[in-house]
Structures are given as C-alpha cells and as structure tokens.
C-alpha cells in the first residue's frame, strides 16, 4: 500500500510520522509536501546556512525527500522552496516538533521518543467527566506568575507555581491558551505557524511533557486550546507555502478571516490530514486530556456568518475529526467554543451530531454579564436574562465560561463589569459566582477572576498578586476557594447535571424583588440556593423547599470573612409543613443585600415496605 495514500485521502492521523525529520539506518530523512515547487533544498545550521541540500521529488503529487547521512538531530533548518531557477523563499517545516525562540523562527530537529511518562494510573482512570466535578482554570502561561527577573515564564516554573495553586484552590483542570508556535506574543497563540510545535518561549517539548506528567500525578487534567480554523499569514509559515495557495483556500473571497489570518482549505484532503494529525499528536504524544477548539462558528458557517450559509466542508471536517479522535482517545475531552445556536453540537456523530463532548455556553455568559452590569432599578424588567438559560440548557452539554475573552479589549474585568459603587461591585461579583457554581454545567474561569482583578489581561505581565495584600481581595480569594471546594465536594452540583431532574426552580419569576431560588439534590442531600440581586435586605424572607427537616447555611456570600455585611443565618432553620412555591414545606430566612446563599439538608426518604 502507498504509504501516502491516507494522507491524500484526508484520513491520515499520524502525518507527522511521514513528514517530520526521522532517524533511519541510512541517516536523517527529510520529507516535504510542496506540489507547486520547482525545486526544494534543505538549508540549516549544519553548514552555517551556506549550501542547500537538494530534495528529490519522489511522488507526482508533490512529495519531496532526502536522506542525509551522518547528521545528528540537533540542528536548526528550513526548506528553501524555488518558484523557478532564481526565485525562492525559505519556509519552516510544517511538521517540525520544535522551533527557535522568537524572534528567530527556524525549525529545530527534535526527537520526542526519549521522554518516559509515569502517568499510566491517571490515564487509565480519566474520563470526560459527565458525572465528575469540572472546574477549569484557564491560563496564559506568560501571564500567570514569572520568576523574578525573567521576561518569560517556563513550563518548569509552572510546576512550582501553577500546580500547587490549582490544588489549593480546588480546580480540577487547567486549560492552557494556545501554545502552538506563533510569531507575535500579542496574538496569545491564536495566530499560529507551528501546528506540531509547542512554542519554545517557555522551554522544550520535554519540559512541557514533564509539566503535564506532574499535573497527572496530582490528579489535575490539562486541556489545550487549539486553533484549526485559520493560521497566521507569516512570511516563514504556511501562507503561500510553495508560491501558490496550499494550506489556504485558492478562492480569494474564502481565504481571509476577520482577524486577517488565512482560513485552512478544508476542501483539501492533505490539509485535513495535517489538521487531524495535529489534534491526534497533542493527545497522543503530549498526553493532553482534552482539546478546546477555537472559533468553531467559522467551521459551521462560512466566515462565522449564518447569512453566508453552512460551511459544508467545515462541518464535514468537524465530524471526521471528532469521530477519529474519539475512536483513538475515548476519554479525551473535545470542547467547542461555538457562539452559534447550531443544533446537536454535543450529540454523537452516529446520532446526527457534531461529536463534541461539551460546548461553551456563551449565551449564558452574555445574558448573565449583561444582567450584572445593569442598574439595580432596571433588573426587574430583564428578569429572564438569568432564568432563560435553563430553558435551553438540556439541548447540549455545556461549560459555563468566564474566559479571557471577557477581560480584554477594553471590556473590563469581571469585577469591573459589576454595576454600582466600588463596594457594591464586590458584593455583586460574589453573588455572580454563587450563581455560576450552583447552576448546572461545568465551570471555566480565567486566571485573575478568583482575586477580583481590576486590570485587564496583558500577556506581558503577571497577575496582580499584590492585590492579595488588600483585605477585600484576600477575602474574595478565600470566598472563591471555598465556593470551588463546595462545588467539588457536593455531588448534587455535578452528578446527573445533564438530566433535567437534577435542577428545580423554587421561584424563577420573582421579578418584583429580583430574587431567584432553586434547588439541586442527589441521593442524600438537597441544596437550596437563594440569590438576592437588589441592595435590599429582608429579616424574614419565606421560600418553599422540597423536603422537611433542618436547613443549614453552608455558604453566604455576605459573611464577614468574605468582606460581607455578616447578615447570615447562623443557626439551622427548621422547615415547616406549609405549601409555598408549589413545594410541600417552607423556610424563613434572613436575606442580606446582594446575598448568594446555599442551604443544605439531608434527605430522609421513606422506606418502602416489601
């Protein structure tokens, strides 16, 4: 069988093993796909970039190859691609495993086969977490915490700083913003050149492997943000690779994205093999536990615009990719960042869906932040912004995201979006997170949300850790950690959450007072949540509850330890047998301004006689 057959059929999931430099008994083999090239040469630091080594065309479909004897896999290199006898340009290897540290940009030979993993136990027990807690900490590596005096962070330093921090604060997963090699720091990795090449900014591939291995030893999952809709039109990258459109669309009107990048040509089977292989590569070789796919709307609709029609090639690519990845990595997480209402994104492919495990609920994010930005006096007219999410929640499997997208480009940070005075913003922000952690759906928060950062994200700077020297920020951090721990250790908030039986409104329609109440329960415990969205307090506020017994307040966002007013329910509340809000029982509680409260009671079920 022709070893390139699957590549040209768009079904190759290990194309890097065909094209990345590899050792053989005869020497180092270099292989390139460049069908429009007149000729191709290998240039590199092995002879101080002086004389190129000619590749031979071995396949009429544009495969070039050369075997170089007595060469160690330690050099930087590029491919010199000729349009004719005189016209050429130098390009990186699309399948390189490593690259020079920016601003240099040559590919670097690298052998990935020497790292010894020790995460077998974790890999065997991991799952896609439908019935497990999932609280994701989204991280830009360079913006978290750098060693003093260093301009760039490192994968090694993350082992010392990020892993203990994630454990201490109750997160279950880390999501890394894109680490594909990219020329411009300010793109945050979303405009990439190296789709098999983890950026050298932060260390070597083995350093990254060691970080992920250590995360797995501590039972932390690691998700990678990936971009397969488009790529940066860099002179040394994939753009017009062999002097003609190769990785991008040939049609000019399809080629450019709204970000100025080039869309991948999803009509091209070799390009599809390239992308499938990249996704499989990071799950296989780096042991990432999941991939979060950026800009899925641009794969569903042409240029992400419903008015331009469905992107048939993009939809086909999504289904092909997810089908193969699930077959190879059944427990890996496949997550769509999709802003459309296209149906069945998280339904299995064989059942007519797109095959993702989760989808970001950007509707919840937009509605919720719009509500919390609003003047208190107008909230009663927009009450459904908060309760509308449950009308569609069971259509997909959702993650609730408060991501980096919400704290950049002059949008203001999460704390800064809250309406009101300086003090009111903290009250409201705590209320928001009680809503988020008790609402069905997995959770994702961008770094800095947990310390109520005022400054927008800047990839050149650490988080403002000095804020923790201020009591109100330190108290907010404690609140966030406590809330994360309650979520993580309370089965009712994550088990069977995609079953509509798991969530019940007590009162979804109290627009006049702008108070919401609902409950979640498992086999043993019931949790009642009350959210007061107004600066009004109630010494006696009655709500219906589903069970008799005693209700204990386990979280009140207005406790003094969180810099609240301390108007709490310090003693357990006995439910009374009285119908209220279509429930059999009722409790009367103290409700502080802007309070987010969680009550817990044990469920005493009657035994059925045999």
Is pLDDT at 605 greater than 80 in this prediction?
no
| Residues 6+ positions from 9 with CB-CB distance below 8 Å | 269, 273
Is pLDDT at 609 greater than 60 in this prediction?
no
pLDDT, mean of residues 258-283: 97
**What is the reported pLDDT for 128?**
84
pLDDT, mean of residues 161-166: 98
Catalytic residue among 248, 337, 482, 558: 337
**What is the reported pLDDT for 580?**
95
How is residue 292 annotated by DSSP?
Answer: E
CB 205 within 8 A of CB 110: yes
Question: b vs e for 321-354, b when ≥16 Cβ sit within 10 Å of the residue's Cβ?
Answer: bbebbbeebeebbbbbbbbbebeebbbebeeebb
From-to residues of CATH 2.60.40.10 in the chain: 5-108
Distance CA 97, CA 204 (A): 10
How is residue 580 annotated by DSSP?
Answer: B
Write the pLDDT tens digit of every residue in 557-600: 999 999 999 999 999 999 999 999 999 999 999 999 999 999 99
Task: Indicate the average pLDDT of the chain.
Answer: 96
pLDDT, mean of residues 178-194: 95
**What is the reported pLDDT for 1?**
58
Write the pLDDT tens digit of every residue in 476-501: 999 999 999 999 999 999 999 999 88
pLDDT, mean of residues 499-507: 94
Structural fold of domain 503-602 = Immunoglobulin-like (2.60.40)
CB 404 within 8 A of CB 140: yes
Write the pLDDT tens digit of every residue in 409-438: 999 999 999 999 999 999 999 999 999 999
pLDDT, mean of residues 372-381: 96
pLDDT, mean of residues 290-294: 98
| Residues 6+ positions from 609 with CB-CB distance below 8 Å | none
Structural fold of domain 133-493 = TIM Barrel (3.20.20)
SS3 404: helix
**What is the reported pLDDT for 606?**
67
**What is the reported pLDDT for 604?**
82
How is residue 55 annotated by DSSP?
Answer: P
Q: Which CATH class is domain 5-108?
A: mainly beta
Sheet-wide strand order for 515-521? 503-507, 515-521, 525-532, 596-602, 550-556, 573-574
Catalytic residue among 16, 294, 406, 491: 294
Q: Is 12 a catalytic residue?
A: no
For residue 574, the tally of other CB atoms under 10 A from its CB is 12
pLDDT, mean of residues 151-168: 96
CB 401 within 8 A of CB 360: yes
From-to residues of CATH 2.60.40.1180 in the chain: 503-602
Write the pLDDT tens digit of every residue in 245-262: 999 999 988 899 999 999
The residue to which tokens 């988080």 are assigned: 463
Q: How far is CA 293 from CA 47, 55, 283, 444, 453, in A?
A: 40, 35, 13, 15, 27
**What is the reported pLDDT for 22?**
95
**What is the reported pLDDT for 253?**
87
Distance CA 271, CA 564 (A): 55
pLDDT, mean of residues 504-523: 97
Q: Is 111 a catalytic residue?
A: no
The residue to which tokens 């010392």 are assigned: 160
CB 99 within 8 A of CB 91: no
**What is the reported pLDDT for 608?**
53
pTM assigned to the model: 0.96
Distance CA 360, CA 38 (A): 46
């Amino acid at each position: 069988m022709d070893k390139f057959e699957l590549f040209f059929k768009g079904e190759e999931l290990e194309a890097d093993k065909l094209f990345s430099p590899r050792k053989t008994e005869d020497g180092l083999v270099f292989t390139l796909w460049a069908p429009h090239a007149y000729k191709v040469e290998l240039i590199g630091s092995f002879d101080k970039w002086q004389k190129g080594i000619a590749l031979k065309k071995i396949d009429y479909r544009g495969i070039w190859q050369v075997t170089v004897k007595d060469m160690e896999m330690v050099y930087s290199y590029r491919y010199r691609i000729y349009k004719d006898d005189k016209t050429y340009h130098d390009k990186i290897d699309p399948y390189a495993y490593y690259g020079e540290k920016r601003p240099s940009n040559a590919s670097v030979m690298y052998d990935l086969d020497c790292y010894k993993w020790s995460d077998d136990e974790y890999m065997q027990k991991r799952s896609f977490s439908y019935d497990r807690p999932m609280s994701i900490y989204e991280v830009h590596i360079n913006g978290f915490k750098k060693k003093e005096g260093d301009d760039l962070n490192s994968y090694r330093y993350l082992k010392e700083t990020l892993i203990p921090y994630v454990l201490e604060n109750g997160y279950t997963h880390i999501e890394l913003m894109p680490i594909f090699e990219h020329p411009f720091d300010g793109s945050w990795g979303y405009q990439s050149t190296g789709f098999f090449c983890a950026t050298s900014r932060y260390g070597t591939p083995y350093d990254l492997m060691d970080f992920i291995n250590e995360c797995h030893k501590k039972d932390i999952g690691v998700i990678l943000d990936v971009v397969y809709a488009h790529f940066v039109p860099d002179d040394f990258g994939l753009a017009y690779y062999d002097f003609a459109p190769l990785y991008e669309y040939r049609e000019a009107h399809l080629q450019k994205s709204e970000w100025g990048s080039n869309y991948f040509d999803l009509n091209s089977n070799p390009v599809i093999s390239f992308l499938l292989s990249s996704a499989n590569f990071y799950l296989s070789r780096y042991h990432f536990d999941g991939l979060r796919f950026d800009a899925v709307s641009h794969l569903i609709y042409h240029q992400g615009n419903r008015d331009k029609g469905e992107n048939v090639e993009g939809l086909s690519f999504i289904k092909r990719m997810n089908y193969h990845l699930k077959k190879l990595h059944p427990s890996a997480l496949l997550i769509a960042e999709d802003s459309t209402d296209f149906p069945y994104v998280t339904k299995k492919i064989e059942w007519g869906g797109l095959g993702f495990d989760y989808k970001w609920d950007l509707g919840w994010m937009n509605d919720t932040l719009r509500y919390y930005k609003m003047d208190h006096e107008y909230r009663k007219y927009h009450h459904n912004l908060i309760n509308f999410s449950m009308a569609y929640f069971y259509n997909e499997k959702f993650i609730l995201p408060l991501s980096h997208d919400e704290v950049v480009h002059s949008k203001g940070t999460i704390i800064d979006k809250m309406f009101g005075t300086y003090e009111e913003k903290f009250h409201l922000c705590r209320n928001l997170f009680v809503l988020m952690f008790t609402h069905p759906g997995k959770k994702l928060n961008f770094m800095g949300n947990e310390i109520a950062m005022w400054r927008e994200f800047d990839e050149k700077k650490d988080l403002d850790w000095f804020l923790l020297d201020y009591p109100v920020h330190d108290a907010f951090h404690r609140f966030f950690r406590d809330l994360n721990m309650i979520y993580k250790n309370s089965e009712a908030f994550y088990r069977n959450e995609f079953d509509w039986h798991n969530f019940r409104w007590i009162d979804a329609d109290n627009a006049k007072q702008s108070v919401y109440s609902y409950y979640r329960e498992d086999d043993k415990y019931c949790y009642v949540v009350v959210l007061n969205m107004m600066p009004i307090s109630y010494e006696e506020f009655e709500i219906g509850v589903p069970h008799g017994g005693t209700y204990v307040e386990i979280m009140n966002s207005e406790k003094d330890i969180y810099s609240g007013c301390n108007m709490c329910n310090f003693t357990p509340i006995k439910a009374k047998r009285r119908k209220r809000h279509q429930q059999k029982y009722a409790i009367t509680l103290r409700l502080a301004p802007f309070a987010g409260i969680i009550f817990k009671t044990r469920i005493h079920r009657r035994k059925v006689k045999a």
